[in-house]
């Protein structure tokens, strides 16, 4: 058997396997029927569901705004915030969450499949904010206290406090100022026990960068207090009134420069409190503060299912329209190109499952667009083939010349499309990224189907009989 027939069989086997993977339920029905008829025990096809985005399966879209007013390295703080929130939402068990930075101080959080929006917001809002603050100089403290007194007097008189010079100073802690060491640099928090008193302590372990920052802070604050705050309040009850409020300030005295990247918090009431604090810290200590979401959008599962259904029908109609066009205008080559197009669809959908690609409405739109683009190469090839046939060349020679001469144009046009897809994927939001990803995957697979599969199908049908039926070409 000639090599082209072996390749043809291989392509058909690939197409059948891809189709079976994309639609395993139909294969499973056949397996069940065979098992019942012949008493076999054949297993079902290995199946893997599509990963659907928020707009198709429902969920919640939240946008948070971070407070970067006291943060010098804003981009670094936002990157740390993104990483911590991402780790936090992964603990929810949400499938394919999206956490992305938007602009300079906003964070987008997408939680597909989440039905209880209030619970999701609460879980994100519980993420603790850990900060270390060093003592202010006496002159600086007095300046802030004076400003607090001045603003308080203005408020009593009903005056506009914003007209007071540097009135924002009154909002600051007069005794401690934030350092660059925050929860961003915390690797882990462990509950340990003092070997002498057996009282619970919390061991804070910083990463390499945090270790260096902590060493610098302790070096410049020897014999000075270093306050530790969790969510803007003291990390433990220091006043002994069984509650943590403004009267509590946990600020141990730094005895010496601390190296090694480890700090120990003492004075904790019991192991339960220690475990609770450690759990909150390990769930994600935020490098900057965030409040309630400034934007909230919920997509119900019913609306998502309806959008998915409409998108699928749009894809079917688009595919049928392309097939009809190819057959009407290009006859037999168009029919073979349509077969290659169906194989292309099966292979691409199988890749979407295997990767997996998170499918959104925009992503499905990109895939549908790629179906139309998949036949562009065939149209160029068939036009070249007709030119060669009109010059009196044989069908085999026309096919070879058609593919050879059309390839540079096909390569350049698809390469440009892939470059645009790469730019969209790198610089755009998650919705556009889905479009760019599905379109780029579709373009790559379409090159394989147009250049390889269509050519094999044409070569299989080449023969003396077809040479006499050139009206089909």
Dihedral angle sign, alpha carbons of residues 387, 392, 395, 401:
negative
Dihedral angle sign, alpha carbons of residues 310, 312, 315, 321:
negative
Q: Are residues 462 and 337 in the same domain?
A: yes
Q: With contact defined as beta carbons under 8 Å apart, do 19 and 346 qualify?
A: yes
The residue count for the chain: 473
Q: What is the CATH number of the domain that holds 225?
A: 3.30.1360.200
Give the end of a domain, one of 298, 327, 360: 298
Q: Are residues 468 and 321 in the same domain?
A: yes
Q: With contact defined as beta carbons under 8 Å apart, do 444 and 422 qualify?
A: no
Q: Supply the pTM of this predicted model.
A: 0.61
Span 136-177, pLDDT tens digits: 888 888 887 887 888 777 777 776 656 676 656 666 778 888
Q: Are residues 374 and 406 in the same domain?
A: yes
Q: Are residues 278 and 304 in the same domain?
A: no
Q: Are residues 363 and 432 in the same domain?
A: yes
Q: Are residues 333 and 462 in the same domain?
A: yes
Q: What is the CATH number of the domain that holds 399?
A: 1.20.1640.10
Q: Are residues 112 and 202 in the same domain?
A: no
The reported pLDDT for the residue numbered 113 is: 77
Give the end of a domain, one of 253, 282, 311: 282
Q: Which residues contact 183 (CB under 8 A, 6 or more apart)?
A: 84, 128, 129, 130, 131, 281, 284, 285, 286, 287
Short-list 227, 226, 249, 229, CA closest to 237: 249
What stretch of H or E contains 346? helix 301-354
* Residues of the chain scoring pLDDT < 70: 1, 87-88, 91-95, 123, 125-128, 159-163, 165-171, 231, 235-248, 280, 283-285, 301-304, 430, 462-473
Q: Are residues 227 and 365 in the same domain?
A: no
* Residue 263 structure tokens: 């700090």
Query: Looking at the domain assignment, is residue 438 inside a domain?
Result: yes
Span 37-70, pLDDT tens digits: 888 888 888 778 888 887 778 788 889 998 888 7
Give the end of a domain, one of 298, 326, 354: 298
3-state helix, strand, coil in the chain (%, to 5): 60, 15, 25
CA distance to 3, 70, 158, per residue, from 163 (Å): 87, 22, 12
Query: Looking at the domain assignment, is residue 20 inside a domain?
Result: no
Strand partners, 193: 200
Q: With contact defined as beta carbons under 8 Å apart, do 52 and 261 qualify?
A: no
The reported pLDDT for the residue numbered 280 is: 66
Query: Looking at the domain assignment, is residue 359 inside a domain?
Result: yes
In terms of residue numbers, what domain contains 246?
130-136+175-282
Query: Looking at the domain assignment, is residue 27 inside a domain?
Result: no
Count of structural domains within the chain = 3
The reported pLDDT for the residue numbered 188 is: 84
Query: Looking at the domain assignment, is residue 25 inside a domain?
Result: no
Q: With contact defined as beta carbons under 8 Å apart, do 24 and 67 qualify?
A: no
Short-list 215, 138, 141, CA closest to 180: 215
Query: Looking at the domain assignment, is residue 37 inside a domain?
Result: no
């Amino acid at each position: 058997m000639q090599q082209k027939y072996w390749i043809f069989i291989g392509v058909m086997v690939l197409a059948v396997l891809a189709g079976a993977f994309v639609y395993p339920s139909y294969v499973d029905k056949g397996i069940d029927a065979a098992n019942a008829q012949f008493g076999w025990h054949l297993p079902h096809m290995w199946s893997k569901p599509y990963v659907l985005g928020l707009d198709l399966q429902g969920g919640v879209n939240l946008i948070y705004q971070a407070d970067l007013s006291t943060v010098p390295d804003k981009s670094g703080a936002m990157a740390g915030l993104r990483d911590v929130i991402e780790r936090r939402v992964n603990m929810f068990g949400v499938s394919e969450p999206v956490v992305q930075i938007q602009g300079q101080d906003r964070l987008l959080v997408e939680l597909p499949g989440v039905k209880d929006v209030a619970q999701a917001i609460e879980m994100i809002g519980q993420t603790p904010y850990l900060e270390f603050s060093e003592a202010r100089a006496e002159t600086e403290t007095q300046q802030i206290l004076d400003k607090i007194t001045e603003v308080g007097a203005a408020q009593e008189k009903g005056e506009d406090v914003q007209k007071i010079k540097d009135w924002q100073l009154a909002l600051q802690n007069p005794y401690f100022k934030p350092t660059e060491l925050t929860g961003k640099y915390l690797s882990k928090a462990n509950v340990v026990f003092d070997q002498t008193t057996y009282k619970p302590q919390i061991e804070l372990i910083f990463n390499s960068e945090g270790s260096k920052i902590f060493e610098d802070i302790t070096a410049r604050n020897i014999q000075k207090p270093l306050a530790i705050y969790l969510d803007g309040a003291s990390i433990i009850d220091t006043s002994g009134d069984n509650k943590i409020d403004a009267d509590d300030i946990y600020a141990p005295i730094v005895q010496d420069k601390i190296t090694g990247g480890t700090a120990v918090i003492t004075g904790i009431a019991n192991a339960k409190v220690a475990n609770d604090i450690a759990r909150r810290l390990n769930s994600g200590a935020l490098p900057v503060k965030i409040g309630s979401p400034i934007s909230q959008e919920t997509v119900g599962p019913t609306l998502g299912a309806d959008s998915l259904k409409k998108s699928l029908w749009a894809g079917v109609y688009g595919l049928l329209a392309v097939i009809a066009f190819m057959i009407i205008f290009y006859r037999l080559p168009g029919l073979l190109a349509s077969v290659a197009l169906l194989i292309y669809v099966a292979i691409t959908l199988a890749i979407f499952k295997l990767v997996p690609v998170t499918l959104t409405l925009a992503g499905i739109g990109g895939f549908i667009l790629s179906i139309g683009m998949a036949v562009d190469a065939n149209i160029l090839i068939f036009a070249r083939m007709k030119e060669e046939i009109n010059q009196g060349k044989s069908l085999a020679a026309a096919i070879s010349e058609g593919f050879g001469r059309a390839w540079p144009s096909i390569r350049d046009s698809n390469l440009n499309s892939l470059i645009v897809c790469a730019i969209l994927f790198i610089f755009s939001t998650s919705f556009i990224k889905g479009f760019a990803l599905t379109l780029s995957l579709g373009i790559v697979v379409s090159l394989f189907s147009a250049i390889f599969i269509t050519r094999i199908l044409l070569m299989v049908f080449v023969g003396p009989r077809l040479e006499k039926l050139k009206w089909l070409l």
